[in-house]
């Protein structure tokens, strides 16, 4: 449904990412005097503060969650609570320009996003972590994992993710026309606040489908997260999630990868995404969900979380 898609941009396209080296200042935590507010961040080489959550035992296996456009680490609250209870260390960051991280005017593309992840991973000294990405975050995971230092990554999960590439071209005839993404940009500039209501109230969660059980709280929370971020960063990110070609990234990933995708995804259409990515991966497993929407981690956590756990434990 290209019309519904045009309403909601939900994935961030990348461009190449460099991860091997970490040019970031080590995780800088604000000094905590009793009663003082604290915020956990790392500072990148270009001076950007990246906010992150880090819950659970430092000795437990880490699961790193990567959110979609234009959201924040808060989009993973359900999954983080679920896996924390299962004994895992759970980590989620706000991508630059999103959430509580710096509202950047530059660096809003996939190479830098993945480099920021590398800085975070190095700062927290993570080894054998599992990286889980939704939508744009799935592109970020693919871009990072393809370049990660040996021993950093054990497995990866791409959920409703943008790879291999979203935009239509001669090489990708099944993609969405560039006009769809131009429409996203125009809507963001014209009235970002209204656009960020229309997306979750419609195609993102499938709330525009007949008989859908609509949650106003979920819509409001999507809006809240989106409006926390910077308009310039979100505008630039549309190009990142729609035009980045992850083909070579997928081919270069050596660890097991689970692809989870609903076949009623109106944001990242199923036929041109997960099935194509599965063919490019060396160790890819495709899991398709009948009738589920783009935001299925939120609408159907009772389905998604156990399947995630089974893959992680396998």
Give the residue numbers marked as catalytic: 135, 265, 294
Q: Are strands 49-55 and 89-93 parallel, antiparallel or unpaired?
A: antiparallel
Handedness of CA 16, 156, 87, 125 (dihedral sign): negative
By the 8 A CB rule, do 222 and 200 touch? Answer: yes
Pairing of strands 129-134, 257-262: unpaired
CB 180 within 8 A of CB 187: no
Residues 160-180, buried b or exposed e (16+ Cβ, 10 A)? bbbbbbbbbeeebeebbeeeb
- Give buried/exposed letters for 204-226 (b at 16+ CB in 10 A, else e): bbbbbbeeeeeeeebbebbbebb
């Amino acid at each position: 449904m290209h019309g519904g898609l045009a309403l909601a941009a939900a994935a961030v396209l990348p461009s190449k990412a460099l991860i091997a080296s970490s040019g970031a200042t080590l995780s800088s935590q604000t000094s905590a005097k009793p009663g003082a507010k604290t915020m956990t961040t790392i500072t990148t080489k270009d001076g950007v503060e990246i906010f992150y959550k880090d819950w659970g035992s430092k000795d437990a296996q880490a699961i790193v969650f990567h959110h979609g456009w234009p959201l924040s680490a808060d989009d993973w609250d359900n999954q983080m609570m679920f896996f924390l209870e299962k004994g895992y260390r759970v980590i989620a960051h706000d991508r630059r320009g999103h959430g509580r991280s710096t509202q950047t005017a530059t660096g809003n593309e996939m190479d830098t996003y993945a480099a920021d992840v590398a800085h975070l991973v190095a700062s927290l000294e993570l080894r054998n972590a599992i990286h889980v990405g939704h939508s744009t975050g799935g592109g970020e995971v693919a871009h990072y994992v393809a370049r990660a230092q040996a021993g950093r990554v054990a497995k990866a999960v791409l959920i409703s993710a943008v790879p291999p590439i979203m935009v239509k071209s001669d090489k990708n005839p099944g993609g969405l026309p560039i006009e769809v993404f131009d429409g996203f940009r125009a809507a963001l500039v014209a009235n970002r606040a209204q656009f960020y209501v229309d997306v979750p109230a419609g195609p993102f969660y499938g709330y525009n489908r007949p008989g859908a059980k609509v949650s106003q709280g979920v819509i409001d929370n999507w809006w809240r997260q989106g409006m926390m971020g910077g308009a310039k960063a979100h505008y630039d990110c549309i190009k990142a999630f729609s035009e980045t070609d992850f083909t070579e990234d997928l081919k270069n990933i050596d660890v097991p990868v689970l692809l989870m995708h609903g076949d009623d995804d109106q944001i990242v259409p199923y036929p041109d995404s997960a099935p194509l990515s599965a063919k490019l991966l060396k160790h890819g497993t495709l899991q398709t969900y009948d009738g589920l929407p783009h935001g299925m981690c939120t609408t159907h956590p009772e389905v998604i979380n156990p399947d995630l756990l089974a893959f992680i434990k396998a």
